[in-house]
Amino acid sequence: MTSRRARGVLAGDQSSKGSAAGVSSHIVIIGAGQAGLSAAEALRKRGHDGPVTLIGEEDAPPYQRPPLSKGYLSGELPADRLWLKPPAFYDMAKITLRTGVRVTALDRAAKRVITADGEAIGYDRLILATGGAARRPAIPGADLPGVHVLRTLAEADALSAALQGARRLAIIGAGYIGLEVAASARKRGLEVSVLEAADRPMSRTASPLLGGWFGALHRGYGVDLQVSAGVAAITGAQRADGVRLSDGERIEADVVLIAAGLNPGVSLAEAAGLDCADGVLVDAHARTSDRDIFAIGDMARFDSELYGRSLRLESVQNAIEQAKAAAAAICGAPAPYDPVPWFWSDQYAIKLQIAGLIEGADQMVRRGDPEEGAFALFHLKDGVLIACEAVNSAPEFMTAQRMIAARARPDPDRLRDVTVAMREFLS
Amino acid sequence: MGSDVFMAKITYIEASGAEHAVDVEDGLTVMEGAIRNLVPGIDADCGGACACATCHVYVDSDWADRTGPRSSMEESMLDFASDVRDNSRLSCQIKVSEALDGLIVRLPEQQG
Q: Using the 8-state DSSP alphabet, how is residue A26 labeled?
A: P
| Radius of gyration in angstroms for the set of CA atoms belonging to chain A, rounded to a whole number | 22
Q: What is the residue-level pLDDT of chain A in tens, covering all 427 positions?
A: 334 333 333 333 333 333 455 668 999 999 999 999 999 999 999 999 999 999 999 999 999 999 999 999 999 999 999 999 999 999 999 999 999 999 999 999 999 999 999 999 999 999 999 999 999 999 999 999 999 999 999 999 999 999 999 999 999 999 999 999 999 999 999 999 999 999 999 999 999 999 999 999 999 999 999 999 999 999 999 999 999 999 999 999 999 999 999 999 999 999 999 999 999 999 999 999 999 999 999 999 999 999 999 999 999 999 999 999 999 999 999 999 999 999 999 999 999 999 999 999 999 999 999 999 999 999 999 999 999 999 999 999 999 999 999 999 999 999 999 999 998 999 7
Pick among B79, B90, B93 to test the A interface (most A CBs inside 10 A): B79
Asked if residue B78 is part of any domain, the answer here is yes
Asked if residue B112 is part of any domain, the answer here is no
Asked if residue B27 is part of any domain, the answer here is yes
Q: Which of A80, A353, A423 sits opposite B51 (nearest CB)?
A: A353
* All structural domains of chain A: 2-133+262-330 (3.50.50.60), 136-258 (3.50.50.60), 349-426 (3.30.390.30)
Please tell me the distance in Å from A361's CA to the nearest CA on chain B: 24
B105, B91 contact by CB (below 8 A): yes
The pLDDT of residue A215 = 98
A172, A243 contact by CB (below 8 A): yes
Helix, strand or coil, per DSSP, at residue A298: helix
Give the span between the Cα atoms of B21 and B104, in whole angstroms: 9
Strand order in the sheet with B103-106: B19-25, B7-13, B103-106, B56-59, B88-90
Asked if residue B111 is part of any domain, the answer here is no
CATH of the domain at B29: 3.10.20.30
Among candidate residues A300, A286, A396, the one with its CA nearest the CA of residue A330: A286
Amino acid of residue B79: D
Q: How far, in Å, are A147, A151, A154, A257 from residue A158 at the CA level?
A: 10, 11, 6, 11
The pLDDT of residue A11 = 33
Amino acid of residue A74: S
Q: Which value, to the nearest 10 degrees, does the dihedral of the CA atoms of residues A353, A355, A360, A364 take?
A: -60
Asked if residue B67 is part of any domain, the answer here is yes
| Cβ contact B77–A86 (<8 Å) | no
| Radius of gyration in angstroms for the set of CA atoms belonging to chain B, rounded to a whole number | 13
- Total of domains in chain B: 1
Contacts of B28 in chain A (CB under 8 A): 81
A426, A402 contact by CB (below 8 A): yes
Give the span between the Cα atoms of A392 and A352, in whole angstroms: 6
Give the span between the Cα atoms of B45 and A319, in whole angstroms: 10
| Cβ contact A394–B36 (<8 Å) | no
- In degrees and rounded to multiples of 5, residue A283 shows phi and psi of -90, -170
Q: How far, in Å, are A173, A189, A392 from residue A185 at the CA level?
A: 15, 6, 22
Interface residue B79 vs chain A (CB under 8 A): yes
The pLDDT of residue A361 = 97
Asked if residue B68 is part of any domain, the answer here is yes
Structural domain that includes position B55? 7-106
Amino acid of residue A321: E
Contacts of A423 in chain B (CB under 8 A): 79
| Cβ contact A398–B77 (<8 Å) | yes
Asked if residue B84 is part of any domain, the answer here is yes
| Cβ contact A316–B45 (<8 Å) | yes
Q: Which value, to the nearest 10 degrees, does the dihedral of the CA atoms of residues A7, A12, A18, A22 take?
A: -100
- Interstrand relation of A132-134 and A125-128 (parallel, antiparallel or unpaired): unpaired
Asked if residue B2 is part of any domain, the answer here is no
Contacts of A351 in chain B (CB under 8 A): 49-51, 73
